[in-house]
Structure 1
Amino acid sequence: MQGLILGLRTSLDPEQFDQFARLGLTHILAISGLHVAVYMVMMGGLLRICRMSRERIQLSLMITIPLYVLLTGASPSVLRAGIMAILGLIAARLGKLKDGLHLLAAAAVAILAYDPYYLDSVSFQLSFVVTLGLICGVPPLRRLMPRRQGVAGWLCDLAAVTIAAQLVSFPLTIYYFNGFHLLSLAANFVLVPFISFVIMPIGTIALLLSPVWMGGAKMLAGLSVTLNDWTFWIVDILANVSSMRLIWETPSLWWVASYMLLLFLLFRYLRQLAPLHGEQLSKENMDPGGFEITEPLPKHSNVIQPTGAKKSILSLMKVNLKWLPGHRALLGLTTGLIALIFYAYYPNLLDRSAVVSFFDVGQGDSALIRTPGGKHILIDGGGTMTYRKPGEEWRERSDPFEVGKKVVLPLLMKRGVKELDVLVISHLDSDHIRGLKAVVQGIPVRAVWWNGTMKASEDVEELMSLIVEAGIPLYAPRSGDYAKIDGETKIQILWPPESDETGIQSASEQNESSLVMTLEIYGHRFLFAGDVGMETERAIIALHTRAEDANGESGRKNHTAPVDIMKLNHHGSRHSTGEAWLAYWAPRGAVASVGASNTYGHPHPDVLGRVQRAGARLWRTDTDGESMFRLTPQVLSYRSR
């Protein structure tokens, strides 16, 4: 309730906020035009009850709206709404109220004059773009609907507002948040009016009533809390329909601009095409560019009507669509929008290159592979090791940085990873798995490969519980196993070896049990060896040398060495990536996944010297950032991000 009225989110559970975000309902929790409008209606109604004149009510609102804006934190969205409201009230008093576009432009100029950096704010962009979309999109959409009075008419108005807001906010939503829920339209249609016209007014009345009648205020507050709980219950049900949640790769800015251009041209054409409540629009109601900006004001209004042709911002778009016969413009614009949406959802449909990315996750490991066939493999998820001893819980941060939630999952969504075909857990140390909890909760996973052991650890228990609850198959591959992911992608398991032990074994020390594998795409080979040390490195070399000798010519033909790129074992620890290992694999390049200024001294100078003597180029995530390799049949190229 504090969040709905005052914008305070301290009492809101992060999971609840995520659910609102998935459904595109965070605008309810962020103070915006909706809240300012409810405040004006409530305050205006209260002042009318006190028998104030219209002029005094307007003056009182002009004085109190800035106080409400300051009380709620003065975010860009509430600043925009507050400035537009005050300018509208001033214009109404002077009899010069024109249209919303003038107020919107004035609010934008005022905010950017105060702080130009607001232009980079997502809240600022969404607030102004959605408001612009409502001004330009609601009238033509409403005219396409039947003319009704009463509740039916109100529902049509609500539908027009909801559809326009969804259409306009869509490109920015996928650009910044990489997700769109198919139930978002229904959720906004049902919950926004319920919260706006029921919960918020009751909560506001309870707040205003508390100084004079605490008993009545408590009764209303209790009712609003109950209704609020119902809202959270509905949001929880809708948000957890994961099959309706779509993940979108971050589109380019040209795509966003193209979508906006086509959408506003479509609004303009619909305004020309659609009759005004069943009647044909007259030329007097149309501006020179064909965009009627506002509905005619009622005859009893004391607002001065502008004379002559209305000079609007959108009339500058001198594009006349009437020359097209029939509705070809409508068909063309609609087809263009659908094509843009399809391209945004499948941007790599015709791209046959592959990408191997080593994420910068600090002192941990995480790598993503996109195969030529569009499949995705994630190897580890980063995290942080903790060496806290009993009694030292006070040393833990109250809000530790969640690398999975803040880095890995957002990166996967920005790359448009709609599902993981294989999630590889090299071993169960926290710096490799802690970030995977958010991944398993946020993205569908088809299969999990792990080293076949267990470890007494809170992180391990939580991750394995999530995997089992999600019904994800678990596989423990062994040395010699081979998988063909698609026509050009092969994975060969090198370690751990087959064992006579049955069942899942417990292993508190996980490094030497790491899952070691080679990845081959278009003939380019990558080596991933977890955190194994030099002793295990020698064992792997001996094991595969024996296997090759035993298989004769076929074994030498399937020899996995040399490799193009290897990940340095154990983040470049002194006791790993030995001379024999480098000589056997003869890599052209190596990647060290390490944290900046880490306290372990990784990568160790001895390892750096060994890599240099082996003639391999080294990339480091702490200095180079994310290391990305693009693979085609002819070329293996590198870039950092």
Structure 2
Amino acid sequence: MLYSVIVVMSAMLGLVFILRGPSFFFYVAIILLLIYLLVHAKHFRVNGMIAVLVFSLYAGFAWIAESSNTTHLKAGEQQIEGHIHSLVKIDGDAIALKVKSVHGEILQLHGFIESEQQQAQLKQLLPGDRCIFTATLSPPSSPTNFYQFNYKQYLYQQQIHWVLTPELQKLNCVRSEKSLFYRLQTFRAHQIKRIEELVHPDASGIIIALVFGERMYVEQDVLEAYQRLGIIHLLAVSGLHVGLIIAAMYGLFIRIGLTRERTLESLCLFLPLYIIIAGAAPSVIRASLMTLIVMVFLRFKWNIPPLFAIAIVFLVYLALNPYALFQLGFQLSFLVSFSLLVSAEVINKRYSSWLAKLVAVTILAQLVSLPLLLNHFYQFSLLTLLVNILYIPFISFIVLPLSFLGVLMQNVIPIELNLPIQLVTVLIPPVHHGLVQLDAIELFNLITGKPHSIPFILYFLVTLIGLLVGESGKDRWWIVPLVGYAMVAGVQWTVPIWTKEAIVTMLDVGQGDSFVIELPRRGEVYVIDTGGTIRFNQGEEWRLRQSNYDVGREVVLSYLKAKGIRRIDKLILTHGHMDHIGGAIALVGEVAIDQLLYSAGEVEGEFEKLLLRELQHKGTEIIFVKKGNRWTSYGSQFAVLSPQGHEQGLNDRSIVLYADIEGVSFLFTGDLEEEGERRLLNTYPDLSVDVLKIAHHGSKTSTTDNFLLQLQPSFGLISAGRNNRFNHPHIEVTERLDEQHVKIIRTDKHGAIQLYVKNGSMKMHATEYKKAE
């Protein structure tokens, strides 16, 4: 184990040094490795030389990977010839797949389907088909919001540099001679399509996920429940899956008369093929290669320590694909497997019953994976342990075998007589319904926020100490990690209390508005508007998508969770247009909302009525506000300047909020138009502000010369979508702002922006998107 730890840590440090550069975590890891070497000081010189050599070797692998990760293509419209390189994923009127050009470069295709006939034609495409695409190549965007998933980096780590947007009506594809890889992918695609068409949607998704490693067919609410309840790993092809398959095949081959040696050789040939069929995710590769190494050693009757096998797979995997080190699936797969192997002997000695062993293994897996999960998902469920104990045996020993048997039988007998598939169809719907209901219980869902550097490291140290105490054989060992986690969580949760500045964040919600205001020491949190996805041409059934993008969930809620914001003191929805209130429904039941401030006037829209009913049902106090409403909190003053309550149009009914935050004045204007601006100037002739939220996304019907001349803002915040169909912000508006020497900050060019405000001064923090400009 000594050499395994030294080699593995040194390899990771060598990769990180080249691929990410020195950082806080890098230096902490260096210190931990040195401490480990000093603990074993008897062999310090030899161990140190091994560490340096491995570090240098893997730094070399990383350098080679970076040097070769280049593109020879250029942006713009062009014709691309290549092969379909992945499963064709069609969801309503959206299509996504990977293309391998004739020059060997991988491209990510995203397209919009224009007709039902076109959708039917695209469903016939298969991996390996040779196509000519008339398309536009564009580089992937950097994250435009804080804590956002970095899609550009994700593609880069797969050596993908371009997003291909095709003119699908001009697509020309033909069948071609296929390699073994494409034949296996075609087989996989045919089997998935057959299950999708013949099996009820309630059961087909989980069968496809368990057998073929593809989750996109699982219903969105069910998938989210699996994720939040901490059992998403059950939908990944793992070591247990591979073990069950190999054990079944081993028994079958022996029974039909193959010798032990021929059986092991056959399985060794089968496993690489299975990796492709099952989707080649990190967990599949790790489990299959470990099994392959074990079978090779069994074939030649060599003894192999389990830790040696996993270390070999880990090192070979990273040598071939250094970027895998930064993938969550890879990290979880190897971290949990390593921990279970190290602790297996202790668990087997201490616990005799299978239930006790299951509980122990589940607790261990949850402990070691928790820091990584919190770092990516910002929350965990108190029901996770219980749900894992119940669902691991159900999925692994009932649903998984039935799914495999059902898939093997589907090409032989009619679906009506396929008993395993029929059993899954009966068992899964009530189980998934129960999961969704459990996930909806707000009491058990705990938002922690994204751990800062120190708490993140402390979580791992607490886990390590807890495991060492557990292996020592002491009674009630679980108290140590439990208390440790509580203390670290306390540190994490108190970080905002020490933040003396107020933080005003303009989120990038596309063509919409959303602002988050955190008063000093997070005394109170206000959210002004929530954006909203306006959908066009969604009336036809074939266009409906299973996984719709929702800006409220993906941007606003995600940001709040990453910040550890569990309560909104005031949700201020300026008016009833979808691009301002559409995302609010995603917040209901996810974070507590004390008050809703809504503009005075008649509530007419069906969505408005639904939203207000849902908020009221959750206990939110609903206040219809107009000119004259004001309040003070933590030294900041807020006043509603409009509406007066008799405006006809929704835009001029917008809540106009004046805020003096830490000595800096803001004016949030919703979609106020020229008439509303004129009325505001007449009512408040001495009004001036430091920061103006430009009304109506920069429409030319707002932000008049007179309005700017009186307010004299230093900064203008514009929230507008990139390449939006309304051409916001209008050039006349930006010219007026320039003439008045107003510094323009706009989401379509700069992404989200944070303004840190303290004692009359203001500092701006930008996303990676702005930094890349």
CA 1:330 to 1:124, structure 2 compared with 1: closer, same or farther past 3 Å? Answer: closer
Moved more, 212-221 or 15-24: 212-221
1:566 aligns to what SS in structure 2?
strand
Question: Shift of residue 440 of structure 1?
Answer: 2.3
1:160 aligns to what SS in structure 2?
helix
Equivalent position of 1:550 in the other structure: none
Equivalent position of 1:493 in the other structure: 640
Which amino acid in structure 2 is aligned with residue 69 of structure 1? I
1:476 aligns to what SS in structure 2?
strand
| 1:36 maps onto 2:281 in alignment | no
Partner Cα separation in structure 2 for residue 454 and residue 106 of structure 1: 68
Equivalent position of 2:672 in the other structure: 532
CA 1:582 to 1:216, structure 2 compared with 1: closer, same or farther past 3 Å? Answer: closer
Q: Which of these residues, 734, 740, 756, is aligned with residue 630 of structure 1? A: 756
Partner Cα separation in structure 1 for residue 220 and residue 535 of structure 2: 24
Equivalent position of 1:171 in the other structure: 371
Is the Cα contact below 8 Å between 2:570 and 2:597 reproduced in 1? yes
Deviations 1:296-355 (A, max 9, x none): xxxxxxxxxxxxxxxxxxxxxxxxxxxxxxx9x999887655432322344313323221
Deviations 1:166-188 (A, max 9, x none): 00110111111112001011000
Q: Which of these residues, 593, 599, 602, is aligned with residue 445 of structure 1? A: 593
Partner Cα separation in structure 2 for residue 371 and residue 482 of structure 1: 16
Q: Which of these residues, 515, 518, 529, is aligned with residue 380 of structure 1? A: 529
Partner Cα separation in structure 2 for residue 371 and residue 640 of structure 1: 19
2:505 aligns to what SS in structure 1?
strand
| 1:369 maps onto 2:508 in alignment | no
Is the Cα contact below 8 Å between 1:530 and 1:570 reproduced in 2? yes
**Which 4+ stretches in 1 moved above 6 angstroms?**
329-334, 390-399
Partner Cα separation in structure 1 for residue 541 and residue 210 of structure 2: 35
Q: Which of these residues, 563, 573, 598, is aligned with residue 724 of structure 2? A: 598
Equivalent position of 2:438 in the other structure: 238
Q: Give the unaligned 5+ runs of structure 1.
A: 279-326, 500-504, 546-558
CA 1:49 to 1:392, structure 2 compared with 1: closer, same or farther past 3 Å? Answer: closer
| 1:358 maps onto 2:484 in alignment | no
| 1:250 maps onto 2:450 in alignment | yes
1:377 aligns to what SS in structure 2?
strand
Question: Shift of residue 370 of structure 1?
Answer: 1.1
Deviations 1:98-152 (A, max 9, x none): 3332222222223233333322322112212222222234544666x5x43xxxx
Is the Cα contact below 8 Å between 1:142 and 1:160 reproduced in 2? no
Task: State the superposition RMSD in angstroms.
Answer: 3.1
Identity %, equivalent residues: 29
Question: Shift of residue 254 of structure 1?
Answer: 4.9
Partner Cα separation in structure 1 for residue 411 and residue 488 of structure 2: 55
CA 1:55 to 1:426, structure 2 compared with 1: closer, same or farther past 3 Å? Answer: same
Is the Cα contact below 8 Å between 1:418 and 1:444 reproduced in 2? yes
Q: Which of these residues, 328, 336, 342, is aligned with residue 130 of structure 1? A: 336
Equivalent position of 2:574 in the other structure: 426
Equivalent position of 2:429 in the other structure: 229
Q: Which of these residues, 297, 304, 310, is aligned with residue 91 of structure 1? A: 297
CA 1:330 to 1:407, structure 2 compared with 1: closer, same or farther past 3 Å? Answer: closer
Is the Cα contact below 8 Å between 1:372 and 1:488 reproduced in 2? no
1:442 aligns to what SS in structure 2?
coil
Is the Cα contact below 8 Å between 1:373 and 1:487 reproduced in 2? no
Q: Say which structure is richer in strand.
A: 2
Equivalent position of 2:403 in the other structure: 203
Partner Cα separation in structure 2 for residue 99 and residue 255 of structure 1: 34
CA 1:369 to 1:625, structure 2 compared with 1: closer, same or farther past 3 Å? Answer: same
Question: Shift of residue 624 of structure 1?
Answer: 1.6
Question: Shift of residue 95 of structure 1?
Answer: 3.5
Deviations 1:528-550 (A, max 9, x none): 010111221121222235xxxxx
CA 1:215 to 1:232, structure 2 compared with 1: closer, same or farther past 3 Å? Answer: closer
Partner Cα separation in structure 1 for residue 624 and residue 424 of structure 2: 52
Partner Cα separation in structure 2 for residue 596 and residue 522 of structure 1: 32
Equivalent position of 1:16 in the other structure: 222
| 1:185 maps onto 2:385 in alignment | yes
Moved more, 82-91 or 129-138: 129-138
Moved more, 225-234 or 356-365: 225-234
Partner Cα separation in structure 1 for residue 637 and residue 521 of structure 2: 12
CA 1:55 to 1:343, structure 2 compared with 1: closer, same or farther past 3 Å? Answer: farther
Which amino acid in structure 2 is aligned with residue 196 of structure 1? S
Is the Cα contact below 8 Å between 1:31 and 1:72 reproduced in 2? yes
Q: Which of these residues, 547, 567, 576, is aligned with residue 702 of structure 2? A: 576
Is the Cα contact below 8 Å between 2:442 and 2:589 reproduced in 1? no
Q: Give the unaligned 5+ runs of structure 2.
A: 1-206, 768-773
Is the Cα contact below 8 Å between 2:533 and 2:550 reproduced in 1? no
CA 1:71 to 1:620, structure 2 compared with 1: closer, same or farther past 3 Å? Answer: same
Deviations 1:264-298 (A, max 9, x none): 24423543x228xx9xxxxxxxxxxxxxxxxxxxx
Equivalent position of 2:681 in the other structure: 541
Question: Shift of residue 469 of structure 1?
Answer: 4.1
Which amino acid in structure 1 is aligned with residue 754 of structure 2? M
CA 1:220 to 1:365, structure 2 compared with 1: closer, same or farther past 3 Å? Answer: same
Is the Cα contact below 8 Å between 2:642 and 2:654 reproduced in 1? yes
Partner Cα separation in structure 2 for residue 393 and residue 497 of structure 1: 43
**Which protein is bigger by CA-based radius of gyration?**
1
Question: Shift of residue 393 of structure 1?
Answer: 9.4
Is the Cα contact below 8 Å between 2:664 and 2:760 reproduced in 1? no
Deviations 1:424-445 (A, max 9, x none): 1111112112222222253332
The aligned runs of 1:81-480 (5 Å cut-off) are 81-140=287-346, 145=350, 147-148=351-352, 153-210=353-410, 218-271=418-471, 273-274=472-473, 337-374=485-522, 375-385=524-534, 401-453=549-601, 457=605, 459-480=607-628
CA 1:16 to 1:574, structure 2 compared with 1: closer, same or farther past 3 Å? Answer: same
Is the Cα contact below 8 Å between 2:415 and 2:421 reproduced in 1? no
Moved more, 210-219 or 458-467: 210-219
Partner Cα separation in structure 1 for residue 737 and residue 744 of structure 2: 7
Which amino acid in structure 1 is aligned with residue 240 of structure 2? L
Partner Cα separation in structure 2 for residue 582 and residue 350 of structure 1: 37
CA 1:330 to 1:601, structure 2 compared with 1: closer, same or farther past 3 Å? Answer: closer
CA 1:461 to 1:476, structure 2 compared with 1: closer, same or farther past 3 Å? Answer: closer
Moved more, 350-359 or 335-344: 335-344
1:440 aligns to what SS in structure 2?
coil
1:368 aligns to what SS in structure 2?
strand
Partner Cα separation in structure 2 for residue 589 and residue 414 of structure 1: 27
Is the Cα contact below 8 Å between 1:207 and 1:217 reproduced in 2? no
Partner Cα separation in structure 1 for residue 574 and residue 452 of structure 2: 34
Deviations 1:547-571 (A, max 9, x none): xxxxxxxxxxxx8x43221101111
Which amino acid in structure 2 is aligned with residue 490 of structure 1? Q
Is the Cα contact below 8 Å between 1:363 and 1:598 reproduced in 2? yes
Is the Cα contact below 8 Å between 2:265 and 2:299 reproduced in 1? no
CA 1:142 to 1:578, structure 2 compared with 1: closer, same or farther past 3 Å? Answer: farther
CA 1:97 to 1:370, structure 2 compared with 1: closer, same or farther past 3 Å? Answer: farther
2:399 aligns to what SS in structure 1?
helix
Question: Shift of residue 409 of structure 1?
Answer: 1.9
2:312 aligns to what SS in structure 1?
helix
Is the Cα contact below 8 Å between 2:455 and 2:491 reproduced in 1? no
Deviations 1:375-425 (A, max 9, x none): 22111111345676x999999989664222322222221121212221111
1:435 aligns to what SS in structure 2?
helix
Question: Shift of residue 361 of structure 1?
Answer: 1.4
